[in-house]
Amino acid sequence: MFQERVKVLWNTLECSGYYRIGMQSNPGYSRAKPGQFVMVRFPDEVTPLLRRPFSIHRLILHQGRTAGIELLYKVVGTGTEKLSLSRKGDGLDLLGPLGTHFKIPENTRRVFIVAGGIGVAPMFFLSATLEKAGVDLTESRIFIGGRSRDDLLCMNDFISVGMRTVHLTTEDGSAGLRDLVTTPLERAVAERAPDRIYACGPLPMIRAVAKIARRYRAPCQVSIESLMACGLGACLGCAVEGADPGKYLHACIDGPVFEADRLNL
């Protein structure tokens, strides 16, 4: 875990409202795992006051070494708006890598990845590690859903790491199937359940995916969002309801990636 002042390497518009920001980071990020996140602060500023959490979208390699990280983010409020105005060379205060990560147990051959909207952010990093972990990319699938065409991100990136089957859905039908992402997912799972499902996206989507996983007995890991102040397990602001009603789980240290059945979704 590192807290460091880093320089922005690039910050580019991906499509309307979505940006990619590259920044330098400690070489120790080579040990960061898919699903882990960072907390970003604008140095010395009090608006916004608190750090903002973002998943690691990918590691930036330079001559084979980890030289930085890239985040994929959507502008939704003050903090992300301000981030979208950063330029190459600007300084940011970076804290990370934080939290739990997606696990790929041995003998995992066939996986389904489900991403809703900005939920694709950690999934690209995940997809880039699958092959090394022994997963068969030709048999695996990714399901990407969004409100409309502009909310479908990174399709080509998943192809570029070797994934073959990409299912696209939009709520307005402007691209792919006009449906929720869970419809083609359920069809595919029913046909033949994968060894594992990984999901990240809005809570209603996570709920629906977890339900499908349970019905077809497929192990499922989900990444969830919560408001966070510290990211370190200190403020207890990020409480989420777990299967044990006696105590809350904390998204920043027990998560953000959970086995779906540990959560009370």
Partner 1 sequence: MAQAPDLSVRIAGVPLKNPVMTASGTFGYGREFSLLVDLNRLGGIVVKGLSLEPSRGNPPPRIAETPCGMLNAIGLENVGIEAFAAEKLPYLQTLSTPVWVNIYGKSVEAYARLAERIQEIEGIAGVEVNISCPNVKSGGVAFGVDPQAAHAVIRAVRERTDLPLMAKLSPNVTDITVIARSVVEAGADAVSLINTLTGMAVDVENRRSRIANITGGLSGPAIRPVAVRMVWQAAQAVDVPIVGIGGILTASDALEFLIAGASAVQVGTANFVNPRATLDIIDGIEAYLVRHRFTSLTDVIGSLQW
Q: Contact positions toward ligand FMN, by CB under 6 A? A: 235, 237
Q: Output the six-digit token pair for 53.
A: 């959490």
Distance CA 265, CA 261 (A): 9
Work out whether the CA dihedral 132, 138, 143, 144 comes out positive or negative.
Answer: positive
Binding segment toward ligand FAD, per CB under 6 A, in 1-9, 68-76, 104-112, 145-153: 68-76
Backbone angles phi, psi at 165, to 5 degrees: -105, 110
Distance CA 222, CA 259 (A): 6
94 near 28, Cβ under 8 Å? no
For partner 1, which residue of 71, 95, 154, 224 counts as binding (CB under 8 A)? 95
Neighbours of 41 (CB within 10 A): 18
Backbone angles phi, psi at 61, to 5 degrees: -100, 140
Map residue 158 onto helix, strand or coil. Answer: helix
Binding segment toward partner 1, per CB under 8 A, in 64-72, 82-90, 114-122, 243-251: 243-251
Pairing of strands 257-259, 177-178: unpaired
Closest residue to ligand FES, judged by C-beta, is: 252
Which C-beta is closer to ligand FES: that of 146 or that of 255? 255
Query: Should residue 55 be labelled a site residue for ligand FAD when binding is judged by CB under 6 A?
Result: yes
Which C-beta is closer to ligand FMN: that of 15 or that of 235? 235
User: Taking CB within 5 to 8 Å according to partner kind, which of ligand FAD, partner 1, ligand FES, none is near residue 127?
Assistant: none
Which C-beta is closer to ligand FAD: that of 116 or that of 256? 256
Query: Should residue 125 be labelled a site residue for ligand FAD when binding is judged by CB under 6 A?
Result: no
Query: Should residue 76 be labelled a site residue for partner 1 when binding is judged by CB under 8 A?
Result: no
- Residue the block writes with tokens 């989420």: 240
User: Taking CB within 5 to 8 Å according to partner kind, which of ligand FMN, ligand FES, ligand FAD, none is near residue 48?
Assistant: ligand FAD
194 near 113, Cβ under 8 Å? no
User: Taking CB within 5 to 8 Å according to partner kind, which of ligand FAD, ligand FMN, partner 1, none is near residue 3?
Assistant: partner 1
256 near 121, Cβ under 8 Å? no
17 near 7, Cβ under 8 Å? no
Residues 205-244 vs ligand FES: string with x where CB under 6 A?
Answer: -----------------------xxxx-xxxxxx------
Residues that bind ligand FAD (CB under 6 A): 37, 48, 52-55, 71-74, 76-80, 118, 121, 225-228, 256
Residues that bind ligand FES (CB under 6 A): 228-231, 233-238, 250, 252
